[in-house]
Structure 1
Amino acid sequence: MLQDISPHVFRNEFSLNRPPRPSDYVMAFQDRNVYISGNGKEAPLEFPKAAPFNPEDLCYLFSVDSRACYLYTGDPAVLSLPGFSWQNTAVLRSENPRLVCFAGFTACHLHGWYTTNRYCGKCGARTGHSAKERALICPRCGNVIYPRIAPAVIVGITDGDRLLVTRYRDRPYRGLALIAGFCEIGETPEQTACREAMEEVGLRIRDLTYAGSQPWGLDGNVLIGFMARVAGTTRITRDENELSEAFWVSREELPEPDSVISLTRTMISRFKKQGYDFGK
């Protein structure tokens, strides 16, 4: 999956005391766009180096091996580096190279958090960085704001050697998907899985088995995967507002995903190769 970057080492410890070095990476975002070179296909993606940037416009994010990654906090309109351009953040799903895409995903998550918490939600004052941890602090009322991570589940519902797959309605991603949804207040991930299965396709499920997890920075999520068996009827009642398709497909007919960048694709690939028991 995208976060599997070994032998590289991701270090997310926060620091206000790590000055940028010329070879460090700089990530700049504007709306749903990222400032980057390459296209993720024949031309690998690459972020600009820190050398031409004003250090006062850079906020330390994390490091990979010995190279740090910084968030650009200046005016996006003034960026004009040879070979770099604004592209939709979907380009980071290309996995070319995986290390750069993972760093971009994670930086995008933090960019969204910083952008939406410039002001205190309790009193409206401008927030500032904590000196000791990754948090924003209100200087007026003392409100502490930590990065938001939204838990969501993905469920592979099986019926013997068949897997239930879906396609989203009104989303850019048009490939095969699995049942998925966010955890609600007061709900465990297992309860979320059962609720989403009933809401999206009208099926009851049993024998939930943990299948893996994944941070998904483009949406600020952490995804928790389960395999499950259908309990009772296999008749699908599709939520037409959420899904354009929902159908059973056998392991033999299930297409092999072209990559395993995501938890969904990893679960589909493993089910095709090993069946339900891969989650055990």
Structure 2
Amino acid sequence: MIQDIFPMHLSNEYHKKIPQADSFLMIFKDNRILAKNDGQVCYLTYKELSEICRGMGKEIPACVYLFSIGEDDYFLTDPGEGIEVPGFVYYKMFETRTMQPKERVLAAATAWHLYVWYRDNVYCGRCGHKLVHSEKLRMLSCPDCNNMVFPKIAPAVIVGVTNGRKILMTKYANREYKRYALIAGFTEIGETAEETVAREVKEEVGLSVKNIRYYKSQPWGFDSNLLLGYFCELDDEGDAMRLDEEELACAEWVDFEDVPDDPEGLSLTREMMLCFRDIMNASESTCLHD
């Protein structure tokens, strides 16, 4: 998955750092990120931006430390309009999913998560004064009313609904992602993740489920999520599927042998599909040899 970058490690603690010459700069415009992709994705360095700014007679913009991956430090900055860098273009965040190496895809998603938080929290939501950054924590505070604002993380579930040798696969309606997915949705106020699983399946396809069990989790910075993966089983084979067409373009039971391969190796959704396929393959193989 996107976070599986061993032996490298994402160090996400905030430090009051200043960028070095080889520090990477994460620069966003709308839903796009500035990068160069010639087989391996690369981001602008502080040295490169400094040279461009000096050549244009512009001041080097302020940079906020985001995180480190391995030996690389990543900073958030906004050089403003008029900065052109040969070989670099603004890619849609969605496009970064197919890039390599994986640690720099993780960097793009995690930096986007933090960029959205900084962008949306310039002023205090309680009193309207401008927020200031903590010297020690990844936290913004209001000097007037002492309101503290921490990065937003939205919990959501990914649900693998199974029925014997089949798994329920869906396609989103009106989304950029067109491949097969699983049922998914956000946890609402006052409910457990397990209750979210049952509710989302009922809302999106009209089915009841049983034997809800946790699989694993995944950070998903593209949408500021923490994804919680669950498997469950169809409760009543007589239930008729009723599709929520505002959420889903289609939903169908897919035999484990027809579950497609995963070319990206990034998402919890795709790993869960392959996990089900592998478990069923192993089960079939055991039955054949008994």
TM-score, structure 1 as length reference:
0.93
- Percent identity, please: 38
Q: Structure 1 stretches of 5 or more lacking a match? A: none
Counterparts of 1:67-78 in structure 2, within 5 Å, are 67-75=72-80, 77-78=81-82
Tell me, yes or no, if the aligned pair for 2:28 and 2:78 is still in contact at 8 Å.
no
When structure 1 is superposed on structure 2, of 227-236 and 161-170 the one drifting more is 227-236
Matched, 1:15 2:21: no
**Higher helix fraction: Structure 1 or Structure 2?**
2
Counterparts of 1:1-280 in structure 2, within 5 Å, are 1-16=1-16, 18-38=17-37, 43-53=39-49, 56-75=61-80, 77-232=81-236, 233-275=238-280
TM-score, structure 2 as length reference:
0.90
For the structure 1 residues 269 and 234, does the alpha-carbon distance in structure 2 shift closer, same or farther, using more than 3 Å as the test? farther
Tell me, in whole angstroms, the C-alpha distance in 2 between the residues paired with 1:160 and 1:238.
21
Tell me, in whole angstroms, the C-alpha distance in 1 between the residues paired with 2:129 and 2:280.
54
For the structure 1 residues 277 and 235, does the alpha-carbon distance in structure 2 shift closer, same or farther, using more than 3 Å as the test? farther
Larger Rg over CA atoms: 2
Tell me, in whole angstroms, the C-alpha distance in 1 between the residues paired with 2:20 and 2:103.
19
Shift of 1:252: 1.3
Q: Structure 2 stretches of 5 or more lacking a match? A: 51-59, 284-290
Shift of 1:217: 0.4
Tell me, yes or no, if the aligned pair for 1:201 and 1:246 is still in contact at 8 Å.
yes
Tell me, yes or no, if the aligned pair for 1:2 and 1:95 is still in contact at 8 Å.
no
RMSD: 1.7
Tell me how many residue pairs correspond in the alignment: 273
When structure 1 is superposed on structure 2, of 183-192 and 266-275 the one drifting more is 266-275
Tell me, yes or no, if the aligned pair for 1:14 and 1:62 is still in contact at 8 Å.
yes
For the structure 1 residues 177 and 275, does the alpha-carbon distance in structure 2 shift closer, same or farther, using more than 3 Å as the test? same
SS in 2 for 1:193: helix
Tell me, yes or no, if the aligned pair for 1:27 and 1:70 is still in contact at 8 Å.
yes
For the structure 1 residues 277 and 107, does the alpha-carbon distance in structure 2 shift closer, same or farther, using more than 3 Å as the test? farther
For the structure 1 residues 119 and 206, does the alpha-carbon distance in structure 2 shift closer, same or farther, using more than 3 Å as the test? same
Q: Which runs of 4+ in 1 moved over 6 A?
A: none
For the structure 1 residues 227 and 203, does the alpha-carbon distance in structure 2 shift closer, same or farther, using more than 3 Å as the test? same
Letter in 1 for 2:89: S
SS in 2 for 1:268: helix
Tell me, yes or no, if the aligned pair for 1:257 and 1:268 is still in contact at 8 Å.
no
Tell me, yes or no, if the aligned pair for 1:227 and 1:276 is still in contact at 8 Å.
no
Letter in 1 for 2:31: R
